[in-house]
Amino acid sequence: MANMIINKVLNNNVVIADHSDYGEVVLIGKGIGFNRNRQDYLDASAAEKVFVLKNEKEQQNYIKLLPYLEEELQQVIILAIELIKTRAGVPLNEHIHVALTDHLMFAVNRIAKGMEIRNPFLIETKVLYPREYSIAKEVIELFGERADVFLPEGETGFIALHIHSALTNTELSEINQHSQLITDLIDMTEEQLNINIDKDSIDYMRLVRHLRFAIERVKNGEKVEEPEKIAALLKEEYPLCYNLSWKLIKVMQQQLKQPVFEAEAVYLTMHLQRLQKKIK
């Protein structure tokens, strides 16, 4: 990294500097601002393990958070994002600096006030994004070790969603929308088939993953091969599951505002029938 000249020291862990390639940047790193002044040079060695926020909007949003963020908590969050980056092994969308910092700041405040944190998508998140969930568990452990803050399991799910958002460059609102949709579809399945699905079972995991990939195919306009003979057979042999699959597909179409190819009903019927047979 090239030499940079400090424009402003915001605190011990954040400075604004001029970068030879990127112009004005926000540099984040433990102790990077300690004992430094305006117009001081930062060389490459001083900037090790530093996140560079190149996007001007992200810079401004991050700076706005700083007055509300205790320095000790900020250090732990910086370490957490470094941990995520290392474990991910690929570039992260830099919005994670703002989004995750903001989320964790309010999570810690809620815990300090004794407020309950409930995550309605925890089970689905664990199934859908196991890699992100594993990294998020390490972040939770880091908070306990470094800040003596013990975040509840629900927070593991929320952090995992932030990690997935940063890895896939997907808006968190879209990820939450899909999680809510999957939850609604499973609730409908249980109600229509009059069953209770064991959320720890392999069958539940398969159904959740099937719905996730179906949603992704719809979003990407990806068509699956349509087995016409099987469709006719399933419609005749398993009318309850076949009709339910179409109800679920209509909900997907309404929520995603995109057409769903008919072949999806065939594969969904097979999943539902297998599930119903095992449970009943």
Residue pLDDT, tens place only, 59-98: 888 888 887 888 889 889 989 999 999 999 998 998 999 9
Q: What is the reported pLDDT for 228? A: 67
Q: How many CB atoms lie within 10 A of CB 166?
A: 25
Dist CA 278 CA 1 (whole Å):
58
Report all structural domains of the chain as residue ranges with CATH numbers, in order of start: 1-54 (2.30.24.10), 61-170 (1.10.1790.10), 181-279 (1.10.1790.10)
User: Would you say the C-alpha torsion 144, 146, 147, 148 has a positive or negative sign?
Assistant: positive
Q: pTM score, two decimals?
A: 0.87
Q: What is the reported pLDDT for 145? A: 96
Q: What is the reported pLDDT for 184? A: 95
The vertex-61 CA angle with 56 and 62, nearest 5°, equals 95
Q: What is the reported pLDDT for 49? A: 54
* End-to-end CA separation in angstroms for the chain: 62
Asked if 92 and 158 touch (Cβ cutoff 8 Å), the reply is no
**pLDDT digit string, tens, across residues 35-62:** 999 989 886 556 555 567 777 888 888 8
List the one residue out of 2, 1, 5, 13 whose CA is nearest residue 38.
5
List the one residue out of 127, 267, 248 whose CA is nearest residue 199.
127
Q: What is the reported pLDDT for 14? A: 83
Q: What is the reported pLDDT for 227? A: 65
Q: What is the reported pLDDT for 67? A: 79
Q: Which residues of the chain have pLDDT under 50?
A: none
